[in-house]
Amino acid sequence: MTAKGNIYTGCNIENFSLSLSICAERVALFKALSEGETEFAKIAVVSDEPDACTPCGTCRQALFEFAPTIDIIMKDGGAGVKALNIRELLPYPFEK
């Protein structure tokens, strides 16, 4: 969700060569960026697993670079919801 309230969705796009796959978080982020969005409020990561699914390291770094104050809402397969800021998930990001 952008600061303006616009919502962009994403899904994992798998490839036989794992390094060419892309996670749902980056799909949604890059869709928003390609539409000119520059300010982000939060992103939701939803999983049907018993524990909340956190963004991978690559996604954390991309989210930090383009949305350094974003909140990450993580929903598991049950009723559990966890919310953390990107800096809590990536305390030592690569920065300029």
The residues assigned a catalytic role are 25
Question: What DSSP assignment string belongs to the chain?
Answer: -BTTS-------B--SSGGG-B-HHHHHHHHHHHTT---B-EEEEE-SSSSPPPPPHHHHHHHHHH-TT-EEEEE-SSS-EEEEEHHHH-SS----
User: Which of 91, 73, 90 is CA-nearest to residue 82?
Assistant: 73
